[in-house]
Structure 1
């Protein structure tokens, strides 16, 4: 079976099709998905999705792209993370691509999330874009390795992947790895340890080939796994088994994914 380790099925364009998407997951042997929070005002929609479907889990956090937000506190994140379906803190991190100027608030927000993850014992979901040096530096300074976590929708270099793995993090590949021009990323997917790999859709975005340009959804994570299997010259069942076991281990769900 496959697990979508990062999706946004609470977004309106997917939420309105929720039952249809759940049926598609069954057809494609996608057993579970993690619905990831991007801000606190819409977090009730995230947790409602997890409460509605037994095989959907949730996170709590504020994405670095959301500039005009009341900043979350460690105490607030810790309190919301007590819900039994919340298995992660985030997504959080740094994004110097979409936003410019003084981004000290992004770095402080990232530190708050790391501290909440350490306080709860729940792993981090990290977004980084054009900010890998500062992302890794802050992770080290705040001892993010204690919480562990995942570098989601990974698009960085082999060196960044190696540095994140050295800090006790996993690397998650989205549909981007299937894109023709993503040669450097394909090489990372070929070479990182299989026991440190996750797969995801980041839906409704980044649909894998041959669905590129169409609306993404959790059932399509199978195509990410198939492409990685081809890159590594192994059976897709091996990728499925490894990434499922990795998901269970990282998010403390071992023995709970039946």
Structure 2
């Protein structure tokens, strides 16, 4: 079976009724999902996510579930960044190694955080830098959220040359992709790469080095074509694989094996 991987999902945001959970599990098994990373967005959500997801989904034989821990750059998180980072650090310290595979998601967002509307730009940069410092301390990769802020994100990343990670839900073009690659980062494409108006994303995907590419759902958001408008879930990552295989002119299984190699190199460390 082809080993599909969803490197970025928010399982705790999916419906948890027994019927819905069983449907998801059946779809994951049918799709052949090998790994899913459940991604954190709040300072104290790691233990709660692990508990709720374990209760809902149990231990899956076919699909391995692992976790990240990070703080999305909301105005509240930026304002209370020092206290929130302390809370995040405590969660990281208590989590068993092997379950926690990354720091994040964290980053810079100029879609929501506007300087002209009083956003704390320096505080946002400091919050991201604090995550990168944690990544150095705990030898973990980082999952970066970057929206309308490629240059600003790169400026912070350049201060931490030993830190590796992925620009998740990549939303820029070829020029920005090459800049992140030059800095040593991976690029991950979500369901929006399948959208009709996403030609710049597909052009970036066409040129991204195969050994630096990942694919994700960002579920429950950004359901791919032909499911656009529905609740996304990790099984739908198959559509990104199919689009990427066509663009890269590769057999689907060959692409999937390369993505698996990239994923394990970055996240599943000894």
Unaligned residue ranges in structure 2 (runs of 5+): none
Q: Does 1:36 align with 2:39?
A: yes
CA distance in 2, matches of 1:131, 1:186: 20
Give yes or no for contact 2:173–2:203 (8 Å, CA) kept in 1. no
Q: Does 1:111 align with 2:112?
A: no
The structural deviation recorded for 1:66 is 5.6
Q: Does 1:58 align with 2:67?
A: yes
Task: Name the CA shift for 1:247/1:14 in 2 (closer, same or farther; >3 Å).
Answer: farther
Query: 1:147 maps to which residue?
Result: 163
- Partner of 2:84: helix, strand, or coil? coil
Give yes or no for contact 2:9–2:220 (8 Å, CA) kept in 1. yes
Query: 1:197 maps to which residue?
Result: 213
- Partner of 1:161: helix, strand, or coil? helix
Q: Does 1:176 align with 2:192?
A: yes
Query: 1:242 maps to which residue?
Result: 258
CA distance in 1, matches of 2:72, 2:194: 25
Query: 1:47 maps to which residue?
Result: 50
Query: 1:19 maps to which residue?
Result: 22
Query: 1:87 maps to which residue?
Result: 101
Give yes or no for contact 1:50–1:58 (8 Å, CA) kept in 2. no
CA distance in 2, matches of 1:9, 1:241: 24
Q: What CA deviation, in whole Å up to 9, does each residue of 1:116-139 have, x standing for no partner? A: 001111100000001111100000
CA distance in 2, matches of 1:245, 1:5: 12
Unaligned residue ranges in structure 1 (runs of 5+): none
The structural deviation recorded for 1:158 is 1.2
Query: 2:154 maps to which residue?
Result: 136
CA distance in 2, matches of 1:39, 1:66: 12
CA distance in 1, matches of 2:102, 2:16: 21
Give yes or no for contact 1:61–1:77 (8 Å, CA) kept in 2. no
Q: What CA deviation, in whole Å up to 9, does each residue of 1:69-107 have, x standing for no partner? A: 542137436524554300000001100111222332211
The structural deviation recorded for 1:67 is 2.4
Give yes or no for contact 1:36–1:59 (8 Å, CA) kept in 2. yes
Larger Rg: 2
Give yes or no for contact 1:198–1:243 (8 Å, CA) kept in 2. yes
Give yes or no for contact 2:69–2:92 (8 Å, CA) kept in 1. no
The structural deviation recorded for 1:41 is 3.3
